[in-house]
Amino acid sequence: MIAAMDIQITKASRSRINEIDFNNLPFGKNFTDHMLEVDYSDGEWGLVRIRPFQSLVLSPSLAALHYGQAIFEGIKAYRDPAGNAFIFRPFDNFTRFNISAARMRMPAVPEELFIEGMRKLVELDRDWIPMKNDYSLYIRPIMFATDEVIGVKASDNYKFMILLSPTGPYYAAPMRIYVEEKYTRAAPGGVGFAKTAGNYGSAMQVTAEAREKGYDQVLWMDAFEHKWVQEIGTMNVFFIIGNRAITPDLNSGTILAGVTRDSVIEILKELGYSVEERPIHIDEVIEAHRNGALREIFGTGTAATVSMIRELTYKDYSMTFDTGTWTVAPSVKSLLTDIREGRKPDKHGWMFKV
């Protein structure tokens, strides 16, 4: 149970909800009427405020802008057919948020602040949760360093915020990706497991090069050999080989521990697949494709949910798939969506009532 917490609420004088086209919601473009904000200084978190969504006034010397002490999370809220609002596995994102915070030498955010603050904010803006299949309210908690000093050291001051953004599907169509051999996302001992801003900033050039070549994203490989599968930009990756679902394990500390990844592992098991979390060598993928055992490849993520990969290219070897004939990714996605949207029972206790 979350302790009661004082939250100072200032409501927007007028809602912007009627200005939004709920049939066209590009990811992360629209924000709800309110946001949550709290500052950390002198070793403690201050007053929690919910106020109208607005710009911030920040010093150009803000530490986060210079040295990247900034972390975030991605979570989604849904409504069931009766209109009740639920947040999907917020406690798992809370745990991961503080794992990221510790790695970036940032303070932990207390559970009641993260969960009850989020619940209250979603409750206030619950009318913004889309009720269309595959649409949801994307929740973006963020923390960043707010010292106004450009000396290189861990900041003493931080800001924690939660933003809400009604959103449609992230990747509209099955994707084309290639195995990235030039760039590296993460190495052991680095920050690959943390949801820190720099992990995404350093991928921008790589994704842009992929787009220039006609691909959507890259499949990141290990830092030493570029042979061991890590993750796809913004998603964890699964291979269906025969009746086995295989996904890279998290032991190297170079892969984000996706909450959707974990949910999909549970759902795959429920659907009768044996799930293997272990290192995957690219030669194993190629071999499985050559002998006809590689049935499907898909990515999982909060924003992306379950996204099918219609092409994976390694050097000059291209593996293409007719995703229209696939059964695993579509059934995983539809079961997950049904649980989230309240059409199937929530046996795992994933849905947190707002």
CA 74 from chain centre, in angstroms, equals 4
Task: Work out how close the CB of 138 gets to ligand COI at its nearest, in angstroms, rounded to a whole number.
Answer: 7
x/- contact string, 125-164, with ligand COI (CB under 6 A)? ----------------------------------------
Dig out the tokens for 1 from the structure: 């149970």
Pairwise CA distance, residues 5 & 112, whole Å: 7
Min dist. Cβ of residue 264 to ligand COI (A): 13
Q: Work out how close the CB of 46 gets to ligand COI at its nearest, in angstroms, rounded to a whole number.
A: 27
Q: Which amino acid is at 342?
A: G
Strand ranges, E, within 208-268:
217-221, 229-232, 236-241, 244-247
Closest residue to ligand COI in the complex (CB):
74
Residue 232 or 339 with smaller CB distance to ligand COI: 232
Chain positions 264 to 323 lying near ligand COI, rule: CB under 6 A, are 301-304
SS3 225: coil
Q: Does 68 bind ligand COI (CB under 6 A)?
A: no
The residue type found at 128 is: W
Between residues 45 and 200, which has the closer beta carbon with respect to ligand COI? 200
| Cα(135)–Cα(137) distance, integer angstroms | 7
CB of 267 to ligand COI, least distance (A): 17
Residues 187-206: x where in contact with ligand COI by CB under 6 A, - otherwise, as a string: -------------x------
Nearer to ligand COI among residue 69 and residue 234 (C-beta): 234
User: What's the min distance (Å) between Cβ of 105 and ligand COI?
Assistant: 21
- Coil/strand/helix, residue 306: strand
Report the residue number, 9 or 208, with the smaller CB distance to ligand COI.
208
Closer to ligand COI by Cβ: residue 22 or 200: 200
Pairwise CA distance, residues 241 & 327, whole Å: 13
Q: How far is the CB of 96 from ligand COI (least distance, A)?
A: 11
Nearer to ligand COI, 294 or 299 (CB): 299
Bridge partners of 39, per DSSP, are 159
Q: How far is CA 150 from the centre of its chain?
A: 30
Q: Which is nearer to ligand COI, 72 or 239 (CB)?
A: 72
d(CA 122, CA 114): 12
Spatial distance between the Cα atoms of 225 and 228, rounded to a whole number of angstroms: 7
CB of 244 to ligand COI, least distance (A): 25
Show contacts with ligand COI in window 224-263 (CB under 6 A).
234
Residues in binding contact with ligand COI, number by CB under 6 A: 7
- When asked if residue 332 is in the footprint of ligand COI (CB under 6 A), the reply is no
The smaller minimum CB distance to ligand COI, of residues 256 and 288, is found at 256
- Asked if 74 touches ligand COI (CB under 6 A), the answer is yes
DSSP state of 5: -
CA distances from 6 to 9, 109, 111, 113 (A): 9, 15, 14, 10
Taking the complex as a whole, the smallest distance from the CB of residue 303 to ligand COI amounts, in Å, to 3
Distance CA 306, CA 334 (A): 9
Contact assessment for residue 230 and residue 255, using Cβ atoms and an 8 Å cutoff? yes
How far, in Å, CA of 240 to CA of 276, rounded? 10
Q: Give residues in contact with ligand COI (CB under 6 A).
A: 74, 200, 234, 301-304
